[in-house]
Amino acid sequence: MTQAGHEAVIRVRNLVVGFDRVTVLDRLSLDVFRGEILGFVGGSGAGKSVLMRTIIGLLPKRAGTIEVFGVNLDEAGEKQRRATERRWGILFQQGALFSSLTVRQNVQFPMREYLHLSSRLIEEIALAKLEMVGLTTDVADKFPSELSGGMTKRVALARALALDPEIVFLDEPTSGLDPIGAGAFDDLIRTLQHTLGLTVFMVTHDLDSLHTVCDRIAVLADRRVVVDGPIARMLASDHPWVKDYFRGKRARAAAG
């Protein structure tokens, strides 16, 4: 449970990512420090999800280095990579729950694959995780197609937390939720971050989330991170996109 210290758990340097002839990220650098909640914002299609997917290794990069827990993932061997992957959890935008497994099985899946534990313990921990994300055990035997949007996100979060990761990547966790649901989800992330000592990398569009839960915000514009820092620095920035985003009409409403 380190407080937001200055140990960078994710260190991205001069990252270049592109598809065909389009360059999406150009010499982007970013640090994520242990124990903080980093809000990552940018216009639609600016490449926020691309950065997240590149860090977790779903997309290839053209140049630059990515270090997670001080391990350069390009140089890491298969075993070290697997060990690193176990230390992060990912909440995909649409939940990405396995549709043929029940909620309970979805949460148990990573535990059964990675840990050699008794079924009883796996069962108890899975239910504990579901309760921690605010679900009752009634949903445990439902299938993902029977869940509401908010429940899907919570189950996906429980699955992301299944192995007690140190970093969680959240891709637009509050999109598609009503403001009350989104607020509750923000609180949940805050609480879990406190109790579990998580580092949270959150791609988001939700100005309320940025104001209430994020310790630090990084803004992606012009294919790189243009500003990063607490909300006060965002409000003071002169970058035209940042200005529009944080001082526009909707932003004023969010800031109250």
Q: Does 187 bind other proteins (CB under 8 A)?
A: no
Q: Residue 44 or residue 145: which is nearer to other proteins going by CB? A: 145
Applying CB under 8 A, which part among 9-17, 19-27, 121-129, 178-186 lies near other proteins? 121-129
Q: Is 141 in the site for other proteins (CB under 8 A)?
A: yes
Using the structure block, give the residue that is written with the tokens 């909707």.
250
Binding of other proteins by 244 (CB under 8 A): no
Q: Which of 194, 230, 235, 252 binds other proteins (CB under 8 A)?
A: 194
Would you call 45 exposed, middle or buried from its count of C-beta atoms within 10 A (0-12, 13-18, 19+)? exposed
Q: Are 208 and 179 in contact (CB under 8 A)?
A: yes
Q: Which residues have CB under 8 Å from 85's CB, separation 6+?
A: 56, 57
Task: By CB under 8 A, tell whether 14 contacts other proteins.
Answer: no
Among 10, 37, 55, 127, the residue binding other proteins under the rule CB under 8 A is 127
DSSP annotation of 166 reads S
Closest CA to 204 of 223, 217, 188: 217
If one asks whether residue 149 binds other proteins (CB under 8 A), the answer comes out as no
Measured CA to CA, the distance from residue 19 to residue 22 in angstroms comes to 5
Q: Which is nearer to other proteins, 43 or 110 (CB)?
A: 110
Q: How far apart are CA 246 and CA 256, in angstroms?
A: 12
Q: Does 163 bind other proteins (CB under 8 A)?
A: yes
The window from 25-33, 42-50, 93-101, 170-178 that contacts other proteins (CB under 8 A) reads: 93-101
- Residues 32 to 91 in contact with other proteins, rule: CB under 8 A: none
Contact pick of 5, 27, 82, 100 for other proteins (by CB under 8 A): 100
Amino acid at 69: F
Which residue blocks in the chain are alpha helix, DSSP H? 48-55, 78-86, 103-114, 119-132, 149-160, 179-196, 207-212, 231-236, 240-247, 249-255
Q: Which is nearer to other proteins, 35 or 173 (CB)?
A: 35
Site residues for other proteins per CB under 8 A? 1, 98-100, 115-118, 121, 124-125, 127-129, 131-132, 137, 141, 143-146, 161, 163-164, 191, 194-197
